[in-house]
Amino acid sequence: MTSTDGLRLLPFRGLRYDQDRVSSLTAVTSPPYDVVVRPDGVRHLETADPYNIVRLILPHAADPTTRHRQAADTLRRWRAEGVLTQDAEPALYVYEQRSGELLQRGLIGALGLDGPVLPHEGVIPEVVEDRAALMRAAAANFEPLLLSYRGQGTATGAAAVIERTVERDPLLATTTEDGFAHRLWAVTDPADLGAIHDDLSRRQALIADGHHRWATYQRLYEQQPGATAASPWASGLVLLVDTARYPLQVRAIHRVLPHLPPAKALADLAGAFRARSLPGDLPAALETLQETPGTAFVLAGGPDSFHLLDRPDPGLLDRTIRRDRPEAWRQLDATVLHSVLLDEVWHIPDHPSDISYLHHTGAAVEQAARHGGTAVLMRATSEETVRQLAEHGVTMPRKSTSFGPKPATGLVLRVLDDREA
DSSP characters over 9-73:
EE-B--EEE-TTSSS-HHHH-B--TTT--SHHHHHHHHHH-TT-THHHHS---SSHHHHHHHHHH
For 406, residues 6+ apart whose C-beta sits below 8 A from its C-beta are: 31, 32, 35, 146, 209
Question: What pLDDT does residue 31 have?
Answer: 80
- The answer to whether residues 386 and 120 touch, using CB atoms and an 8 Å cutoff, is yes
Question: What pLDDT does residue 4 have?
Answer: 66
Beta bridge partners of 95: 106, 184
Nearest to 263 by CA among 298, 307, 320: 307
- The answer to whether residues 65 and 4 touch, using CB atoms and an 8 Å cutoff, is no
Give 90's DSSP letter.
-
Question: What pLDDT does residue 294 have?
Answer: 95
Q: What angle do CA 230, 113, 392 make, to 5 degrees?
A: 155
Nearest to 36 by CA among 20, 18, 60: 60
* Long-range own/partner contacts, residues 276-283 (CB < 8 A, 24 or more apart): 276/307, 276/308, 276/310, 277/306, 277/307, 278/306, 278/307, 278/308, 280/306, 282/306, 282/361, 282/362, 282/365
- The answer to whether residues 367 and 358 touch, using CB atoms and an 8 Å cutoff, is yes
- The answer to whether residues 28 and 52 touch, using CB atoms and an 8 Å cutoff, is yes
Residues 172, 177, 181, 185, CA torsion sign: negative
Residue ranges in the chain whose pLDDT is less than 50: 419-421
Distances (CA, A) of 67 to 8, 31, 64: 33, 19, 5
Task: Provide the b/e sequence for 66-91 (b: ≥16 CB within 10 Å).
Answer: ebbbbbbebbeebbeeebbebbeebb
**What does the alpha-carbon distance between residue 406 and residue 238 come to, in Å, rounded to a whole number?**
11
The string of pLDDT tens digits covering residues 56-103 is 998 888 888 999 999 999 999 999 999 999 999 999 999 999 999 999
Backbone angles phi, psi at 226, to 5 degrees: 70, 15
pTM for this structure? 0.87
- The answer to whether residues 240 and 9 touch, using CB atoms and an 8 Å cutoff, is yes
| DSSP secondary structure of 232-296 | GGGEEEEEEEETTTSPPEEE--EEEETTS-HHHHHHTTTTSSEEEE--S-HHHHHHHHHH--SSE
Q: Which H/E stretch holds residue 81?
A: helix 64-81
Q: Coil, helix or strand for 166?
A: coil
Task: Provide the b/e sequence for 217-232 (b: ≥16 CB within 10 Å).
Answer: bbbbbeeeeeeeeeeb
Beta bridge partners of 85: 16
Question: What pLDDT does residue 232 have?
Answer: 94
| DSSP secondary structure of 353-415 | TT-EEES-HHHHHHHHHHHT-EEEE--PPPHHHHHHHHHTT-PBPTT--EEESPPPBTS-BEE
**What does the alpha-carbon distance between residue 42 and residue 47 come to, in Å, rounded to a whole number?**
9
Question: What pLDDT does residue 262 have?
Answer: 96
